Amino acid sequence: MCASVKYGSRGPALIPRMKTKHRIYYITLFSVVLLGLIATGMFQFWPHSIESSAEWSLDRRSVHDAPLVRIPVSSPIPERGDLSCRMHTCFDVYRCGYNPKNKIKVYIYPLQRFVDEVGVPISSTGLSREYNDLLSAISDSDFYTDDVTRACLFIPSIDVLNQNSLRIRETAQALAMLPRWDKGMNHLLFNMLPGGPPDYNTALDVPRDRALLAGGGFSTWTYRQGYDVSIPVYSPLSAEVDLPERQPGPRRYFILSSQTAIHREYRVELERLKEENGEALLLLDKCSNLSQGLASVRKRCYKGQVYDYPQILQESSFCVVLRGARLGQATLSDVLQAGCVPVIMADSYILPFSEVLDWKRASVVIPEEKLPEMYTILKSIPHRQVEEMQRQARWFWEAYFSSMKAVGMTTLQIINDRIYPYAARTYEEWNNPPVIKWSSVNSPLFLPLIPPRSPGFTAVVLTYDRIESLFRVITEISKVPSLAKLLVVWNNQNKSPPEESLWPKVAVPLKVVRTKENKLSNRFFPFDEIETEAVLAIDDDIIMLTSDELQFGYEVWREFPDRLVGYPGRLHLWDHEMGKWKYESEWTNEVSMVLTGAAFYHKYFNYLYTYKMPGDIKNWVDAHMNCEDIAMNFLVANITGKAPIKVTPRKKFKCPECTAIDGLSLDQTHMVERSECINKFASVFGTMPLKVVEHRADPVLYKDDFPEKLKSFPNIGSL
């Protein structure tokens, strides 16, 4: 600034007075200066930017380099937490806004070292390893933003995990000094060990205005449901000791108590249980002969016998987790890690992440008063359920307890789910361990409905150029009472469909859709013209189905709207010699697929086929001009977990799956190709979703000795 002023005031006055002989000298000088200016500019420009970015990314600094902040004695103290706070009263939702990703943005304050006026730090530990891990995990996640103006949630870098190491008043003042504190609005504090002696409050004692608290050890009186988040007390042992997952099943001990700080009253009760039930119980305590220190933390004793902790936890089916002075216990984490089912006796305790986790599937919660009945209660649980719980316990630990990162991410996801409830994770996503997630199915059409007959079905006929056969099919189908509409998918780009006047006269609307490419997938496109739920996919050469058979097929579909209901059935088999799947079209006693040359199904599956087909299956089908029906069978079986329904007796189909090769006797190659499809699809799906059944559907009075004219569907199997 000063430079430009100088230049401006002296410069213009100087130049007119210059003599000619000096002019060249000046010009040269200026040029040199100008060049120098540009050169230095460039010089300044490049190295500087490199240096500055280096400073940002390679921030190899010590925590002790963090700036020191002095807290004036008179600095304001926030109010105590307001127990009536809820998301709609104490949380500023406008900061989060509507965003298409439905993901909140989290800002972390830079680290500062707060000291009081005389220079004593507010916390005896400062930043702890665990809190640092937590903050780095958040900073590495999708939630993180370093732009304070875009943040929805703020996380102070002041470590309040353990209240015992804090100076309460000064910590509170430090919080209030944060630049965006604003009465704690949208601030999230993590605390695992709340309260202090003698009465140990169940929530952090630091006054914190409206800040959200992710706390370990909430009781139902301090926990603000739907606002706070209950988190586990992290056990640093889990990072030190590697306990490999054990197969669920009965273990050496039935009940194990490994806690060292159990109140005498409880210990007496436990001893009584031990007397009654003997070896099934193992009651461990501190080792009196070991010196204090790290070793004692990893050892437990019973009558002079020494056991390794936490390894011993893996030897028991159930592990007792009793409350101590606090409600939240780090033991819970150890117990879960060992795949031991926790027996939690801590009245009024809000279990970790209970907002989303179903603890009844991983633990047994018993009122403290019922401790004497513990053995009977646990004995009444079926073995298989205990195994499930062991597996579930281990999975909870892996997913939500195992690291500070897991704890932090789960907490943020829970808050995220509250802010964007319409994008929240489901119960299954939270609670089902991978092994169940992998094998279970949640059908998109899960409600048991038998849709009314009235809207009927839409027949979708795929055709290329066999007009005569097509017209015959149309004429036949049009006799079916429940037919609502006929849709002809004209897959031939070189030829126009015949004139309107040439088409057979039918009572229902007939529409022809011309496709852009000759692709098999076109038959499964969710055309807007299909207005009914039920779709009958039919080839242009299927003329051997009677009207009764088709109507009956529709009636069966109404009772199974989530399945493929079709006529020719096929089977997949495991070829032991070749070690792969084989396609089978022989006369078999079993069915796992129905051909879509003639099949009813829900229009929803058209959407799935067109838009949600996994991998490159769709392209494979179009490239090979084959197997679109197998792909559809895979898709439906995979998403519903159910087998298709074959209706009515078998008939001599004119090899309906060989339309591409037009009846030519290339059976062998055809079968090989179909087998290949099955193997290909099974590898894309990562599993074999097809289900094998031994039944087919017939009318109730099929082949019965009963007057034909009284039968609803007399004409079955006649063609």
Partner 1 sequence: MQARKKYVLLGLCTCCWLLLFYWGGLQERLLGLITYRRGEVARPWPDWLDRALLPGFADQAELQNDGGPGDSPRQRRQAWAGIYKDSHCRMETCFDFGRCQAPSGFRVYVYPPEKSERVSESYRKILTSVAESRYYTSDPREACLFVLGIDTLDRDQLSTQFVPNVDERIRGYPLWNDGRNHVIFNLYSGTWPNYTEDLGFNVGQAILAKASLNTEHFRPGFDVSIPLFSKEHPQKGGERGWLVRNTVPPRRKYLLMFKGKRYLTGIGSDTRNALHHIHNGKDIVSLTTCRHGKDWEKHKDARCDHDNQEYERFDYQELLHNSTFCLVPRGRRLGSFRFLESLQAACIPVLLSNGWELPFSDVIQWNQAVVEGDERLLLQVPSTVRAVGIDRVLALRQRTQMLWEAYFSSVDKIVLTTLEIIKDRVYSHISRNKFMWNALPGGLLVLPEYSTHLAHYPFYYFNLGISPGQEFTAVIHATSPLVSQSQPIMKLLQLVSKSKYCSQIIILWNSEKPPPHRSKWPPMPVPLIVTDGRRKTSSRFLPHAAIETEAVLSLDEDTMLLTSEINFAFHVWRSFPERIVGYPPRSHFWDPVKKAWGYTSKWTNEYSIVLTGAAFYHRYYHHLFSHYLPSSLRALVDRTSNCEDILMNFLVSSVTHLPPIKVAQRKQYKEMPTLQGTKMAPWANPEHFTQRQECVNTFASWFGYMPLMHSQFRLDPVLFKDHVSVLRKRYKDLERV
Q: Strand pairing of 580-584 and 569-575?
A: antiparallel
Cβ nearer to partner 1, comparing 414 with 473: 414
Q: Report, in Å, the least distance between residue 315 CB and partner 1.
A: 19
* DSSP secondary structure letters along 501-570: GGSPP-SS-EEEEE-SS--GGGGG---TT--SSEEEEEETT-----HHHHHHHHHHHHH-TTS-EESSEE
Please list, in sequence order, all residues whose beta carbon lies within 8 angstroms of the beta carbon of residue 100, skipping any fewer than 6 positions away. none
Cβ nearer to partner 1, comparing 187 with 603: 603
Q: Report, in Å, the least distance between residue 325 CB and partner 1.
A: 4
Q: Report, in Å, the least distance between residue 579 CB and partner 1.
A: 24
Q: Report, in Å, the least distance between residue 678 CB and partner 1.
A: 19
Residue 316 is given by DSSP the state E
* DSSP secondary structure letters along 259-284: -S---HHHHHHHHHHHHHHGGGEEE-
Cβ nearer to partner 1, comparing 149 with 380: 380
What is the spatial distance between Cα 593 and Cα 295, in angstroms, rounded to a whole number?
62
Distances (CA, A) of 255 to 209, 316, 483, 496: 43, 6, 65, 78
Q: Report, in Å, the least distance between residue 570 CB and partner 1.
A: 11
Q: Report, in Å, the least distance between residue 424 CB and partner 1.
A: 5
Cβ nearer to partner 1, comparing 92 with 662: 92
Q: Report, in Å, the least distance between residue 149 CB and partner 1.
A: 13
571 burial (CB, 10 Å; 0-12 / 13-18 / 19+) is middle
Q: Report, in Å, the least distance between residue 547 CB and partner 1.
A: 16
What amino acid is encoded at 96 in this protein?
Answer: C
Cβ nearer to partner 1, comparing 354 with 518: 354
Return the structure tokens found at 256: 């194990």
Distances (CA, A) of 283 to 255, 308, 332, 411: 8, 13, 16, 34
Cβ nearer to partner 1, comparing 72 with 97: 97
Cβ nearer to partner 1, comparing 41 with 249: 41
DSSP H or E stretch at residue 486: strand 483-490
Cβ nearer to partner 1, comparing 22 with 252: 22
What amino acid is encoded at 604 in this protein?
Answer: Y
Q: Report, in Å, the least distance between residue 447 CB and partner 1.
A: 4
Distances (CA, A) of 265 to 262, 268, 269, 325: 8, 5, 6, 14
- Token pair 């119980």 in the structure block, residue: 281
Sign of torsion, CA 623 628 634 638?
positive
Give the residue from 382, 435, 356 showing the smallest Cα distance to 364. Answer: 382
Q: Report, in Å, the least distance between residue 568 CB and partner 1.
A: 11
- Compute the chain's Rg from CA coordinates: 37
Cβ nearer to partner 1, comparing 173 with 458: 458
Q: Report, in Å, the least distance between residue 347 CB and partner 1.
A: 5
Cβ nearer to partner 1, comparing 64 with 505: 64
- Token pair 């030519």 in the structure block, residue: 664
What amino acid is encoded at 492 in this protein?
Answer: N
Cβ nearer to partner 1, comparing 90 with 486: 90
Return the structure tokens found at 376: 């009977």
Cβ nearer to partner 1, comparing 470 with 483: 483
Please list, in sequence order, all residues whose beta carbon lies within 8 angstroms of the beta carbon of residue 124, skipping any fewer than 6 positions away. 165, 166
What is the spatial distance between Cα 595 and Cα 542, in angstroms, rounded to a whole number?
12
Q: Report, in Å, the least distance between residue 464 CB and partner 1.
A: 27
